[in-house]
Amino acid sequence: MKSGARLQVQVLRRWCSSSSASVDASEQSLIAWVREQGGRVGALQVGESGHGGWGLRTTDAVRAGESLIALPPHLPLSVQTSDPVLLALFDRVPEELWTVKLGLKLLAERTRFQTSQWRPYIQNLPKRFTVPIFYSSEEIQALQYVPLMHQVQKRIRFLSEFASETMPNVIGQGPQPDHPFKKHQVLPHALAWSMAAVSSRAFHVHKSGGGSSLLPLVDMCNHSFAPTGRLVQHSSSPQSLPVLEVVAEKDLDEGEDVFLNYGSLSNDILLLDYGFVLPNNPNDRVELRYDGQLLDTACLVAKVDSLSSFKHPAQWQQELLERLQLYGPGASQSVTLGGTELVEGRLLAAVRLMHAQDSNTLIDVDLKALQIWDRTPPLGVMNERRAIRTLIGLGMLALTAFPTVIQEDESELVKGGISDNLRIATQFRILKKHLLLETIKGLKAKYPS
């Protein structure tokens, strides 16, 4: 039975908030288990990270290039299976929610816990996660950022409907004693837990057919854009089996944290999948929709004497916007502000061409040249001034879309009694607002004299 997203959030949160994720002696036994399974573990131990939380730390000095962890091919937990019910369930999961597929495999192994080869690994997984699918409705609203709020609600709805409707229908068609979850009903809270476990811990490896796998012990390495280790996969050969290995990126002293770079991830993805955000994230952006009315309003805000209406582009402008995939069938109208480029190239080109006097202005101009910054404005100084002022107006509109300002957010953080989820949601929106302010500042610096 379908229900409202607000109820779903509260229910998922209640189901998954009972146990803590503290690390005890059994975490250290995970190292012993990896070794027993044929893996190699160097001078490492599980400990409290200097950046908060738990992770892996060195117990001795390590030289650059030295192996820290090496896993044999049978230890990664991937979606590979011959179970017809699991395969049928996989077919019902959209590709963008691949974490649910691997989560289902994890749940199947958890169901047969006593006989699963991954028992020592599963028993050391956290009992609860702090990703936004477990936020209350109030905490989701505190994000104040529609693109991320939409993704959170989308995941919550899918998990609820998949567990309550799709899974019973698929499992009911096969022999009950043989299905991967025995006779147990998989409730939304269990599916949400498994999805969070996968999204926060899985790595992309070749072993799973181009997908992702859970890597025991390796997944205890925390994230940094300045990593101290790196994950490598050795090619298979007749003489040696493929091995996933973490090697030291640099010389490490005793007691140093082992960090891996999870990828060029925005704060949206870091919060959605991992439950944290990072200041000064070079990959963070503010997502907007290319909308003619919004850009016309940006012109008004920035007092730009526009030569044409963004809402009603001329035929020649429509054709160029189609080439930028911002207009017409199949258009991808999601654009971004922020980062080293300040403005996504397609958006920069669109604003420039919409301020062009006529199609003759663009006869000898490469459309790619409109998507980058150059010392010489591609369509002249007056066009560049209009374009930059329009983009500044767009950034100002994006700022005013937030219901609170940074000073109010910072006051909220110093209040007592605020939940951890509300605190990180507030930090998330503060970082987005600072990103917009920095973008506006950067655009002003590019204004031609």
CATH code of 338's domain: 3.90.1420.10
275, part of any domain: no
Q: Are residues 351 and 426 in the same domain?
A: yes
List pLDDT tens digits, range 339-352.
Answer: 999 999 999 999 99
312, part of any domain: yes
How many domains would you assign to the chain? 2
Q: Are residues 255 and 168 in the same domain?
A: yes
Tens digit of each residue's pLDDT, the chain (449 residues): 333 333 333 334 333 333 334 444 456 789 999 999 999 999 999 887 665 668 999 999 999 999 999 999 899 999 999 999 999 999 999 999 999 999 999 999 999 888 899 999 999 999 999 999 999 999 999 999 999 999 999 999 999 999 999 999 888 765 556 678 877 788 899 999 999 999 999 998 765 444 689 999 999 999 999 999 999 988 655 455 557 999 999 999 999 999 999 999 999 999 999 999 999 999 999 999 999 999 999 999 999 988 789 999 999 999 999 999 999 998 999 999 999 999 999 999 999 999 998 888 888 888 999 999 998 999 999 999 999 999 999 999 999 999 999 999 999 999 878 999 999 999 999 999 999 999 999 999 999 98
Q: Are residues 147 and 89 in the same domain?
A: yes
279, part of any domain: no
Residue 313 structure tokens: 């582009």
Q: What angle do CA 196, 199, 202 make, to 5 degrees?
A: 125
Q: What is the three-state SS of the chain? A: CCCCHHHHHHHHHHHCCCCCCCCCHHHHHHHHHHHHCCCEECCEEEEECCCCCEEEEECCCECCCCEEEEECCCCCECCCCCCHHHHHHHCCCCHHHHHHHHHHHHHHHHHCCCCCCCHHHHCCCCCCCCCHHHCCHHHHHCCCCHHHHHHHHHHHHHHHHHHHHHHHHHHCCCCHHHCCCCCCCCCHHHHHHHHHHHHHHEEECHHHCCCEEECCCHHHCEECCCCCEEEEECCCCCCCCCCEEEEECCCECCCCECEECCCCCCHHHHHHHHCCCCCCCCCCCEEEECCHHHHHHHHHHCCCCCCCCCCCCCHHHHHHHHHCCCCCCCCCCEEEECCCCCECHHHHHHHHHHCCCCHHHHCCCCHHHHHCCCCCCCCCHHHHHHHHHHHHHHHHHHHHCCCCCHHHHHHHHCCCCCCHHHHHHHHHHHHHHHHHHHHHHHHHHCCCC
Instruction: Write down which residue in 220, 237, 267 finishes a domain.
Output: 267
List pLDDT tens digits, range 151-203.
Answer: 999 999 999 999 999 999 888 765 556 678 877 788 899 999 999 999 999 99
Residue 385 structure tokens: 């001034």
Residue 5's pLDDT is: 35
176, with CB counted inside 10 A (0-12, 13-18, 19+), is exposed
Q: Are residues 296 and 240 in the same domain?
A: no
Residue 125's closest CA among 108, 106, 148? 106
Instruction: Write down which residue in 267, 301, 326 finishes a domain.
Output: 267
CA distances for 159 relative to 191, 325, 442, angstroms: 7, 32, 41
Residue 108 structure tokens: 């199947």
Let me know: does 336 contact 288? Beta carbons within 8 Å: yes
Q: Are residues 191 and 295 in the same domain?
A: no
Q: Are residues 230 and 321 in the same domain?
A: no
Instruction: Write down which residue in 267, 295, 310 finishes a domain.
Output: 267
Q: Are residues 17 and 55 in the same domain?
A: yes
272, part of any domain: no
66, part of any domain: yes
d(CA 153, CA 145) in angstroms, rounded, equals 12
Residue 240's pLDDT is: 55
Residue 16 identity: C
List pLDDT tens digits, range 271-324.
Answer: 999 999 999 999 999 999 999 999 999 999 999 988 789 999 999 999 999 999
Q: Are residues 230 and 325 in the same domain?
A: no
Q: Which domain holds residue 418?
A: 286-445
Residue 216's closest CA among 47, 42, 76? 76
Q: Are residues 214 and 339 in the same domain?
A: no
Residue 349's pLDDT is: 97
280, part of any domain: no
Residue 220's closest CA among 403, 16, 55? 55
273, part of any domain: no
Assign residue 97 the CATH number of its domain: 3.90.1410.10
Residue 337's closest CA among 381, 289, 374? 289
Residue in the block written with tokens 């498994």:
194
CA distances for 392 relative to 307, 352, 386, angstroms: 17, 13, 10
Q: How many residues does the chain have?
A: 449
CA 316 to chain centre: 37
Q: Are residues 246 and 329 in the same domain?
A: no
Q: Are residues 242 and 337 in the same domain?
A: no
13, part of any domain: yes
Q: Are residues 251 and 305 in the same domain?
A: no
CA dihedral 397, 400, 402, 408 (to 10 degrees): 150
